[in-house]
Amino acid sequence: MRSVTITPDFVAYPEGSILIACGQTRVLCNVTLEQVVPSWMKTQGIAGGWVTAEYALLPRSTRQRTPRETNGLGGRTQEIRRMIGRSLRAAVDLELLDGYTCIVDCDVLQADGGTRTASVTGAYMALVRALQPLIEKQVLPADVLSAQVAAVSVGIQQGIPLLDLDYAEDSGVDVDLNVVMNDRNEYIEVQGTAEGATISRHQLDGLLDLAEKGIQELLNIQGTFL
């Protein structure tokens, strides 16, 4: 694992704010609470609340400038937004989040691999900090937060399994996975690609074991700030 640094309340205005650094990757995760639900929930008569996520690479978060997505979101951005949203909805009892929408903004300040997994890990902490005051005021029940969630990347490079890939490792691996789990050792999402070589069931099991080890470390780090 790369070193992980958490800075709570990095921005003053959001209901929850976390700056997470995993090695040289830095992601600012802010959560906004709105006492409203999406129109589609009202139309379909769905009770409860909602959690949605946005994700962006700032132009000079990368080695060469990444243009802002002003003419529509690219496929990668949409995919990552959906992954973060799915991961965080698995951390919340949406029925108990009655009448509230949590908008999660993950902005990559510096990218060196693992931006989507760092976003999930940091955004969960920001989400907890956003909801905690409502729980303390008994506006929401404590069990609205149903599970602790974190994510990490793993891969295989020339037959060697790697944990928490930086950019150089990620760009050279034969196989890579992004894994999201909760504190009950349950999988929320596994994204995997065999780009340079195929992978056996035995190797896949080894990568999942390695990811579980890394995620347990991240859960422990989260716990010191929650």
What pLDDT sits at residue 224?
94
What pLDDT sits at residue 70?
87
What pLDDT sits at residue 64?
93
What pLDDT sits at residue 73?
86
pLDDT digits (tens, 9 = 90+) for 163-178: 999 999 998 899 999 9
Q: Which residues of the chain have pLDDT under 70?
A: none
d(CA 70, CA 48): 33
Give the distance, in angstroms, between the CA of residue 173 and the centroid of all CA atoms in the same chain. 22
What pLDDT sits at residue 88?
98
CB 149 within 8 A of CB 180: yes
b/e per residue, 165-193, with b = 16+ CB within 10 A? bbbebbeebbbbbbbbbbbeeeebbebee
pLDDT digits (tens, 9 = 90+) for 99-145: 999 999 999 999 999 999 999 999 999 999 999 999 999 999 999 99
- Residue 126 burial class via C-beta count within 10 angstroms: exposed 0-12, middle 13-18, buried 19 and up: buried
Domains annotated for the chain, with CATH where assigned, are: 4-223 (3.30.230.70)
What pLDDT sits at residue 226?
85
